[in-house]
């Protein structure tokens, strides 16, 4: 193998596991971003008075 090419998984099970791991990591990153986005406006809104 050339030094620029990463080693490939040996079988389809390992390839599937690698794909799932990458997808899970990306999904968790998106979920964390969404949670941060939801949290930010709520914190600023709690200090405001309502009903006046």
Range(s) of the domain holding residue 20: 12-39
Evaluated on CA atoms 42, 48, 49, 51, the torsion sign reads negative
Q: Is residue 5 part of a domain?
A: no
Q: Is residue 44 part of a domain?
A: no
Q: Is residue 46 part of a domain?
A: no
pLDDT at residue 2 greater than cutoff 70: no
18 band by pLDDT with thresholds 50, 70 and 90: very high
Distance CA(38)–CA(7), nearest Å, equals: 40
pLDDT at residue 10 greater than cutoff 90: no
Mean pLDDT of 18-47: 86
Domain tally, the chain: 1
DSSP state of 7: P
Global model pTM greater than 0.75: no
Distance CA(22)–CA(17), nearest Å, equals: 9
């Amino acid at each position: 193998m050339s030094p620029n090419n990463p080693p490939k998984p040996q079988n389809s099970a390992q390839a599937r596991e690698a794909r799932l791991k990458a997808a899970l990591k990306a999904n968790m990153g998106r979920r964390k971003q969404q949670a941060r986005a939801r949290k930010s406006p709520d914190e600023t809104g709690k200090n405001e008075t309502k009903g006046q």
